[in-house]
């Protein structure tokens, strides 16, 4: 009989059990790793969907206006006011990406319209410049109409988004005059100890006066982008005579109140403080050379007086105010200003698409944007409609006078 060794037998069984358990557990390890990978992929996709705002729907822009014959005519004539604005599928619903692409790229395949640079000497010795572009076709009413355009902060006629808009306007029969903000063009030296400011209308007014004297028969369409929107609205409201000969005004992506906007730029919401740093860094070289505040005693007074907020009520020509709901530079609280104005004033229409960022408004199918943006098309379409509206009014007036004489 063979003797038994309990301790050795238990060790043998333990080793065998360990090997069996290891063999049984080994196939489960890839499943664990796959689960981790799947969770990581899901997390990345969730972040992408949130950052790109892919779940946001496309819809026609929100409109706030008074029910008047003019507003009804605009809704019939401007299809973009009632159609969906559809940005590029992959990235177009992110206001940050739209804004970043506008800031870095401007526009896609931007044209190079030919213009003549004009120089105007201001009373304080400053040299204002603007570029003049003649129309390339007849406009919808075959009359002389000039778009007087004020670009965004530190911008000028050579910026890609301005070139794209000017080229499209020229092809629709408009002469274009584009202000170059004082100190913005690197090739033009400052001839006085000041640069452009948030609300100084001197240079824009000088450009408009030049157009009025040189083309006395021309009607004006006033257009301002971002900071330029503040300047053109303030200019029109400063003096009633500034609105003479003006068919309409369009302001795109402005903030309406510099004082209230300045407070929001100190917040991290929507990375607004980061954008504030980028804009300040872009202007630092110019600002360090010219530290005047145009006679204001405090920064608060400067912001308050330079804003168009106090002048909007004094504008009586048709006024189109356009902002994007996802503009990271314009806080939601600032949009209460155009909303309240358009609810009270018959000449004002406020247009608020869901997407577009700050001066982006790119269109496209999936990834690549089109050269023309929704913004370019809307401004020209609105101008065409106002021109047609004014011509119809003039014809009706002539008909009534002829009937009265008979």
Catalytic residues: 226, 327, 358
The neighbouring-strand residues paired with 63 are: 351
CB-based contacts of 71, cutoff 8 Å, min separation 6:
65, 346, 349
Strand 62-65 with 348-352, pairing: antiparallel
Residue for token pair 């040299």? 127
Got the DSSP string for 2-22? PPP-HHHHHHHHHHHHHHHHH
Q: Determine the length of the chain.
A: 406
Q: Supply the DSSP symbol for 56.
A: P
Q: Supply the DSSP symbol for 241.
A: G
Residue for token pair 């600032």? 334
Q: How many CB atoms lie within 10 A of CB 265?
A: 17
**Closest listed residue to residue 233, CA positions, set 310, 150, 312, 320:** 312
Q: Please give the angle made by the CA atoms of 261, 262 and 268, to the nearest 5 degrees.
A: 90
φ, ψ of residue 60 to 5 degrees: the values are: -65, 155
CB-based contacts of 28, cutoff 8 Å, min separation 6:
none
Q: Supply the DSSP symbol for 125.
A: S
Q: Supply the DSSP symbol for 403.
A: H
Question: In the numeric block, which tokens belong to residue 53?
Answer: 């705002």
Contact 336, 256 (CB under 8 A): no
Q: Please give the Cα distance from 393 to 391 (Å, whole number).
A: 5
Beta strand segments in 37-174, E = 62-65, 116-121, 127-133, 145-150
SS3 category, 26: coil
Q: Supply the DSSP symbol for 90.
A: T
Q: How many CB atoms lie within 10 A of CB 117?
A: 14
Tell me the angle at which helices 202-214 and 227-238 cross, rounded to the nearest 10 degrees: 70
Helices (H), 215-243: 227-238
């Amino acid at each position: 009989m063979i003797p038994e060794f309990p301790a050795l037998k238990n060790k043998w069984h333990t080793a065998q059990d360990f090997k069996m358990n290891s063999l049984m557990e080994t196939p489960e390890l890839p499943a664990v790793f796959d689960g981790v990978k799947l969770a990581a992929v899901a997390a990345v996709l969730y972040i992408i969907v949130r950052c790109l705002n892919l779940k946001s729907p496309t819809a026609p822009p929100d409109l706030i206006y008074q029910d008047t014959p003019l507003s009804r005519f605009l809704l019939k004539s401007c299809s973009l006011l009632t159609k969906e604005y559809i940005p590029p599928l992959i990235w177009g619903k992110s206001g940050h990406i739209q804004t970043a692409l506008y800031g870095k790229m401007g526009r896609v395949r931007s044209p190079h319209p030919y213009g003549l640079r004009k120089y105007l000497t201001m009373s304080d010795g400053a040299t204002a410049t603007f570029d003049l572009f003649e129309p390339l076709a007849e406009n919808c009413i075959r009359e002389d109409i000039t778009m007087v355009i004020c670009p965004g902060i530190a911008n000028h006629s050579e910026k890609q988004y301005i070139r794209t808009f000017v080229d499209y306007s020229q092809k629709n029969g408009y002469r274009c005059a584009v202000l170059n903000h004082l100190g913005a063009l690197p090739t033009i030296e400052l001839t006085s100890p000041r640069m452009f400011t948030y609300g100084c209308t001197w240079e824009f007014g000088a450009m408009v006066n030049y157009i009025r004297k040189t083309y006395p028969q021309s009607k004006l369409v006033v257009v301002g982008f971002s900071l330029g929107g503040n300047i053109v609205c303030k200019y029109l409201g400063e003096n009633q005579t500034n609105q003479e000969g003006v068919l309409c005004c369009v302001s795109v992506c402005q903030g309406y109140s510099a004082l209230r906007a300045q407070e929001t730029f100190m917040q991290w919401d929507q990375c607004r403080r980061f954008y504030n740093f980028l804009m300040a860094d872009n202007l630092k070289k110019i600002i360090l050379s010219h530290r005047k505040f145009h006679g204001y005693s405090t920064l608060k007074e400067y912001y308050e007086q330079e804003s168009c907020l106090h002048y909007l009520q004094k504008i009586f020509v048709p006024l189109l105010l356009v902002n994007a709901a996802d503009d990271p530079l314009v806080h939601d609280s600032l949009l209460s200003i155009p909303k309240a104005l358009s609810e009270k004033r018959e000449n004002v229409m406020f247009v608020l698409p869901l997407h577009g960022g700050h001066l982006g408004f790119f269109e496209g199918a999936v990834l690549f944007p089109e050269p023309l943006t929704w913004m370019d098309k809307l401004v020209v379409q609105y101008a065409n409609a106002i021109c047609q509206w004014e011509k119809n009014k003039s014809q009706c007036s002539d008909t009534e006078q002829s009937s009265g004489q008979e």
